[in-house]
Structure formats: C-alpha cells, structure tokens
Amino acid sequence: MDDKGEKKMAKRAPNFTNKEEVILMGLVKAYKHVLENKQTDSNFNKKKQECWREITSRFNSQSGEVYRVSVNLRKKYENLKKKTCKKLRESKTYVMGTGTGTPKSEILSEIDVEIRDILGVRVEGLNSEFGGDAQNNELDVDKSRENLNVDNQVDDTIDKIDTLEKNTPWAKNMVQSLRTPKSRH
C-alpha cells in the first residue's frame, strides 16, 4: 500500500507467445488423464494441483522467456479450451443451419487441433446412429432382420415362461400368496 492507503495493482504479465502456448499444450497433453478427469474428490483435486505445479515447473524451465505461475497457466489453458470449443461449435452450428452445406472454411491452429484431441468427444459430440439428415442414412436390411430375430426370440421366451407358470402346480398358489397382505401382529 502506498501512503494514501490505496492498493497498488500488480503489474500485468506480457501476453503468451505462440511458443509458450505450444509448450503449455505439450505439457497439458502429458497430464491430460489427470487434468481432464471429471472426478472432484479431495484426493483427485490434490493430484490435479500437483500436476499443475509440475507443469508450471517444467514450463518455466523450458520457456525461459517470462516466469509464469500455475494460476496463470491454468487460466490460459481454460481460455484456449473455450476459444477452441467456440470455433468448433460455430462451425457445427453453421453446417447444421445450412443442412448439408459445406462447412465454414475456418482453419484450426495447431493448438486448436491438440485441444480437440485432448477433449475428444466432449468437443465434437457423439454421432447419432439414428436420425439426422446425413446423405448416407440408408436402411441396413441385415440389421433390421437381426432386430426382428431378437424380437422373435424374446416373444418365444415369454411364451415359454407363461407355459411354465401354467403347468407348474405351485405357480397358482405362489401367485395367490404373494397377493395377500401380511397381517400385522
């Protein structure tokens, strides 16, 4: 604090260079199994903190440009993820909005590709086997026949169970005893 009682603001660090972003993504990729895990119990959170400390240590030794703290590295990674997800989401929305139109000619950077690889399904989503307006959604006759065969097998099994219940002498008494309420003593 200065003599007027006001807090001085911390000096802003310089922007990340492309080299620093590449180094950060390489380190994050090495620890992605921990950092991108959805578990949030105390033990796993400690592991994540340890990973960020290790990433910070390695980053500062490899970068050699500006000393970065783990909070800044983590924030930069989160911002890169958001930016990449936004690019991919906008591209997907554009394609869905135009039907089967050509996708936007947005070029993904090396960092965007790495983030997409790290996040996988969380970014791209799952493809639906059913529905959708894809051109190659032809009906697979063999799969339909397999499903019919499975349905027929289920029906046959249910018929066998019904027959077994009717022919078993205890079945009628058992069903009747299950329907009667227990008396309270």
* pLDDT tens digits along 107-126: 777 788 888 888 877 776 66
User: What's the whole-number mean pLDDT along residues 59-84?
Assistant: 90
The highest-confidence range among 44-48, 126-130, 156-160, by mean pLDDT, is 44-48
The reply to whether 58 and 105 lie within a common domain is: yes
pLDDT at position 45 over 80: yes
Task: Supply the pLDDT for residue 86.
Answer: 87
Question: Could you tell me if residue 4 is inside a domain?
Answer: no
Task: Supply the pLDDT for residue 53.
Answer: 93
Averaged pLDDT score across all residues of the chain: 75
The reply to whether 102 and 171 lie within a common domain is: no
Burial of 143 (0-12, 13-18, 19+ CB in 10 A): exposed
Task: Supply the pLDDT for residue 58.
Answer: 92
Per the model's pLDDT, the better-predicted residue between 112 and 83 turns out to be 83
Per the model's pLDDT, the better-predicted residue between 99 and 67 turns out to be 67
Task: Supply the pLDDT for residue 169.
Answer: 59
- State CA 11 to chain mean position distance: 37
The reply to whether 155 and 82 lie within a common domain is: no
In angstroms, the first-to-last Cα distance of the chain is 78
Backbone angles phi, psi at 2, to 5 degrees: -90, -175
The reply to whether 44 and 97 lie within a common domain is: yes
CB neighbourhood size of 173 (10 A): 10
Per the model's pLDDT, the better-predicted residue between 88 and 152 turns out to be 88
Report the predicted TM-score, pTM, of the whole model to 2 decimal places.
0.59
Band the pLDDT of 7: cuts 50, 70, 90: confident
Percent of the chain predicted with pLDDT > 70: 56
Per the model's pLDDT, the better-predicted residue between 91 and 29 turns out to be 29
pLDDT at position 176 over 90: no
Question: Could you tell me if residue 38 is inside a domain?
Answer: yes
The reply to whether 107 and 161 lie within a common domain is: no
Task: Supply the pLDDT for residue 137.
Answer: 45
The reply to whether 112 and 153 lie within a common domain is: no
Number of folded domains that form the chain: 2
Q: Which domain holds residue 117?
A: 18-124
The reply to whether 45 and 109 lie within a common domain is: yes
CB neighbourhood size of 37 (10 A): 11
The Cα–Cα gap between 100 and 5 comes to: 63
Q: Three-class SS of residue 19?
A: helix
Percent of the chain predicted with pLDDT > 90: 18
User: What's the whole-number mean pLDDT along residues 81-108?
Assistant: 74
